Amino acid sequence: MTALFSIDPQAVRIVRAETKQQILAELAQCFGSVYMLDTAHVLERIEERETLGSTGFGRGVAIPHARLEGLARPVAAFFRLENPVEFAAADGMPVDCVFGLLSPEQAGATHLQALAAISRLMRDERMHERLTNAPGADAIYSLLVNVIDRDAA
C-alpha cells in the first residue's frame, strides 16, 4: 500500500508569520516552488476553500487544503510557526502547526482520506508535542515521514 499523499523535505519549514493571510501566501509559495505549481493559482484555490469555513482544525492546528487540476497525486506541506497565529479555528485557539494538502481535482475520496489521515496524525497529542519541540525542519520531516510510511504499511 502506498501513502495517501507525499511530502517533500523542502516543503517542511519553520515559518514566521503574523496573520492567517501571510500563512496562506507562504503556503502557496511553498507548494509552487517545491512541487512546480502556479503559486497564484494555488493561493486562489486555498483561499476559495477557506471562504467556506476556516480550516483551523483546533488544538493549535490548521489544515488548509484544496483540489487542483494537473496534479498526479496528493502532495503536502508542513509549517511549524515561530509564534501562534489567529486562524479563526473551531476552538478559538491560535495555530502553531499548519499542514497544507493539495489533491488532484478528481480525487474526491482520496482527498478526504488524506485529510482524515492528517487529522488523525495531528490529533495525537504526543505527535503534536514532538513536532512542536523538534529542533528543526529536518527533524520535523523525519517525524512526519516515519508516521506517513508506517500508516501506509
pLDDT tens series, the chain, 153 aa: 357 899 999 999 999 999 999 999 999 999 999 999 999 999 999 999 999 999 998 899 999 999 999 899 999 999 999 999 999 998 999 999 999 999 999 988 889 999 999 999 999 999 989 999 999 999 999 999 888 766 655
120 domain residue, yes or no: yes
104 domain residue, yes or no: yes
Only one residue has cell 494537473, namely 70
- 27, 12 in Cβ contact below 8 A? no
In the prediction, which pLDDT does 115 show? 92
Domain count, the chain: 1
CA–centroid distance for 124 within its chain: 15
16 domain residue, yes or no: yes
- The boundaries of the domain holding residue 126 are 6-152
84 domain residue, yes or no: yes
Q: What is the pTM of this model?
A: 0.94
H or E, element range at 138 = helix 137-152
Closest by Cα among 3, 30, 35 to 14: 30
125 domain residue, yes or no: yes
1 domain residue, yes or no: no
- 68, 31 in Cβ contact below 8 A? no
Look up the CATH number of the domain holding residue 50.
Answer: 3.40.930.10
18 domain residue, yes or no: yes
CA dist., res. 71 & res. 31, Å (int): 12
88 domain residue, yes or no: yes
In the prediction, which pLDDT does 149 show? 66
* Residue 65 known to be catalytic: yes
In the prediction, which pLDDT does 1 show? 38
